[in-house]
């Protein structure tokens, strides 16, 4: 359970937002923004408020875990704590080294920011000087601070080049390495990830700093880029990588590039996963865009943020809104649901190849009280098959009657990835040429990219996740009770586990 820092303050919260926003955080409620009409679909504008102390240059912000409190730092090292409604609660530090995005502890009690001697750890609820993790490296050019998901260590990088990792329980330095660049931490907190120009990635043991694995060409063969970054997926299986306006998705196990898109040539592209990992938001110049994280399929583009390129982009925890910040010093909180009429046939639209139609269908099903019933009519849980049942179906691939062979092939195909171990074992045993050919085709279909049916299953799960109603959760529970390993089963289970 998150530590609710918002409960210490009297101000009531507004809808929760996610982390990492590069802009001055003053939330102007809709009721008080009459003098500045908001664009269609925008819930609130974040911009400097009249009479508030100004920040110096660019700012960085981070939302607390429970989503009610925001840390803000600027280029002069000022560090403030605000509530999400735009009220400054306290100033922890008025000046300091050049700022970078602050980080919250998982319980929301502490803030991590840059310090002249290393990393400062602030007790948010109590005034006073911070605890300092000193690395013996004095520099104001901190590029990034990363906190492990388990809250046990913190990593920071300077222009030295040097990257240092500290153990948070003891405050001792774990290790350091000569590196200055994008930093990531695996979802299981076992590895610190370094990126070299979005081409080579090295996975270091979080305890020792020793390289455990890597992928990509040798450093000397990497193509130099000016703007590169990456973000790890919530499940830890993939990483989204941006490089001078291009975005690609990689498998973290072998570095395989799963898809690639040109988003906004020659610009920095901020990236963010939706909390469930189904969607990827990319800051395409002035316009935020939404992609299917598994397939790279373009789904939606929003109206331009303003006159400057986007600097950060984030989903709210319920994935129903998105926060975009621009280098012009403003941020907009937008509704993700599209406007306009819903498709006439939602099931057909969900299976469409048109991203805009797919996106509209997902949201229409999420907002329709009859959405769960409509999906249940077309999509049942993947049936659980016992080992004898699987063996019988595999044996039927060699049946005398063509109709029996076809029926067995369809049943095994419906199992998807869940049937892979049994299919591979059967192929290794050696069957008739026709049965072997059918097995090879089934294995090839479900061991690589998602099948068309599995893609539709993910879309259906996303719609019910967005709905969030008791009826939608009941349908997710039905799907989650299906055969383990099937995309529909595992996706539904993952959504329920997050709630």
Distance of CA 183 to the CA centre of its chain: 15
**What pLDDT sits at residue 482?**
92
Residue 466, φ and ψ in degrees, nearest 5: -70, -35
Residue 468 has pLDDT above 50, yes or no: yes
d(CA 116, CA 135): 10
- Tell me what the pLDDT averaged over the chain comes to: 84
**pLDDT tens, residue by residue, 161-215:** 899 999 999 999 999 999 988 999 999 999 999 999 888 999 999 999 999 999 9
What pTM, to 2 d.p., does this model score? 0.81
For the chain, the distance separating the N- and C-terminal CA atoms, rounded to the nearest angstrom, is 11
d(CA 154, CA 198): 22
Residue ranges of E strands in 197-232: 200-205, 211-215, 228-232
Residue 7 confidence class, pLDDT cut points 50, 70, 90: very low
Contact 405, 398 (CB under 8 A): yes
Contact 78, 94 (CB under 8 A): yes
Q: Say if residue 161 is preceded by a cis peptide, omega within 30 of 0.
A: yes
Q: Sign of the CA dihedral 170, 110, 497, 207?
A: negative
**pLDDT tens, residue by residue, 92-109:** 998 888 778 888 899 999
CA distances from 419 to 196, 424, 461, 479 (A): 38, 9, 21, 17
If you write DSSP's letter for every residue of 28-69 in order, what string do you get?
A: E-GGG-TTSPPPTTEEEEE-PPTTSPPP-SSEEEEE-TTSSE
Residues 328-340 have a mean pLDDT of: 82
Of the candidates 266, 277, 269, 263, the one whose C-alpha atom is nearest the C-alpha of residue 312 is 269
Six-digit token pair at 364? Answer: 């229409």
Residues 234-239 have a mean pLDDT of: 93
Residue 359, φ and ψ in degrees, nearest 5: -60, -45
Q: What angle do CA 409, 415, 418 make, to 5 degrees?
A: 125
Contact 318, 325 (CB under 8 A): no
Domain ranges of the chain: 5-335, 338-499
Contact 101, 111 (CB under 8 A): no
Contact 342, 356 (CB under 8 A): no
Pick 39 or 86 by higher pLDDT: 39
Residues 60-79 have a mean pLDDT of: 78
Q: Sign of the CA dihedral 27, 30, 34, 37?
A: positive
Residue 262 has pLDDT above 80, yes or no: yes
Share of the chain above pLDDT 90, in %: 44
Of the candidates 230, 177, 160, 176, the one whose C-alpha atom is nearest the C-alpha of residue 199 is 230
State the CB neighbour count (10 A cutoff) for residue 32: 12
**What pLDDT sits at residue 367?**
95
**What pLDDT sits at residue 287?**
84
CATH of the domain spanning 5-335: 2.130.10.10
Distance of CA 259 to the CA centre of its chain: 16
Contact 27, 85 (CB under 8 A): yes
**What pLDDT sits at residue 280?**
97
State the CB neighbour count (10 A cutoff) for residue 12: 10
Residue 97, φ and ψ in degrees, nearest 5: -70, 165
Residue 328 has pLDDT above 90, yes or no: no
**What pLDDT sits at residue 441?**
86
- The number of residues making up the chain comes to 499
Residue 6 confidence class, pLDDT cut points 50, 70, 90: very low
Residue 317 has pLDDT above 80, yes or no: yes
């Amino acid at each position: 359970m998150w530590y609710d820092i918002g409960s210490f303050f009297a101000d009531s919260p507004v809808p929760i937002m996610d982390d990492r926003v590069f802009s001055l955080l003053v939330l102007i409620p809709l009721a008080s923004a009459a003098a500045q009409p908001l664009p269609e679909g925008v819930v609130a504008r974040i911009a400097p408020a009249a009479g508030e102390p100004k920040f110096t240059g660019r700012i960085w912000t981070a939302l607390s875990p429970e989503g009610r409190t925001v840390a803000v730092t600027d280029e002069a090292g000022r560090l403030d704590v605000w509530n999400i409604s735009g009220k400054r609660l306290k100033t922890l530090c008025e000046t300091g080294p050049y700022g970078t995005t602050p980080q919250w502890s998982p319980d929301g009690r502490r803030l991590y920011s840059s310090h002249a001697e290393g990393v400062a750890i602030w007790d948010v609820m109590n005034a006073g000087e911070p605890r300092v993790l000193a690395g013996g490296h004095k520099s104001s050019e901190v590029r990034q601070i990363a906190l492990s998901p388990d809250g046990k260590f913190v990593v920071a990088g300077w222009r030295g080049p040097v990257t240092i990792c500290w153990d948070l329980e003891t405050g001792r330095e774990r290790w350091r390495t000569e590196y200055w660049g994008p930093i990531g931490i695996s979802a299981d907190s076992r590895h610190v990830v370094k990126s070299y120009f979005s081409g080579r990635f090295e996975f270091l043991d979080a305890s020792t700093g020793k390289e455990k694995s890597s992928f990509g060409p040798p450093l000397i063969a990497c193509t130099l880029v000016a703007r590169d970054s990456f973000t790890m997926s919530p499940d830890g299986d993939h990483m989204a990588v941006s490089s001078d306006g291009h975005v690609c998705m990689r498998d973290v196990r072998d570095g395989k590039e799963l898809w690639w898109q040109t988003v906004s040539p020659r610009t920095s592209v901020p990236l963010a996963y939706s909390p469930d990992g189904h969607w990827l938001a990319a800051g395409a110049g002035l316009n935020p865009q939404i992609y299917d994280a598994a397939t790279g399929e373009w789904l939606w583009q929003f109206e331009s943020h303003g006159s400057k390129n986007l600097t950060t982009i984030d989903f709210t925890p319920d994935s129903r809104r998105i926060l975009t910040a621009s280098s012009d010093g403003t941020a907009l909180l937008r509704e993700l649901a599209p406007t306009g009429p819903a498709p006439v046939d939602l099931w057909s639209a969900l299976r469409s190849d048109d991203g805009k139609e797919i996106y509209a269908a997902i949201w229409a099903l999420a907002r329709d009280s009859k959405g769960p019933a409509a999906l249940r009519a077309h999509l049942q849980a993947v049936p659980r098959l016992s080992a004898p049942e699987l063996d019988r179906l595999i044996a039927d691939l060699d049946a005398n009657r063509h109709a029996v062979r076809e029926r067995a092939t369809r049943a095994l195909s419906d199992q998807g990835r869940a049937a892979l171990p049994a299919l591979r074992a059967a192929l290794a045993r050696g069957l008739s040429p026709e049965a072997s050919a059918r097995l090879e085709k089934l294995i090839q279909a479900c061991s690589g990219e998602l099948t068309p049916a599995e893609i539709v299953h993910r879309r259906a799960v996303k719609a019910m996740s967005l709905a969030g109603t008791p009826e939608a959760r009941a349908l997710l529970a039905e799907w989650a009770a299906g055969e383990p390993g099937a995309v529909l089963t595992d996706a539904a289970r993952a959504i329920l586990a997050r709630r």
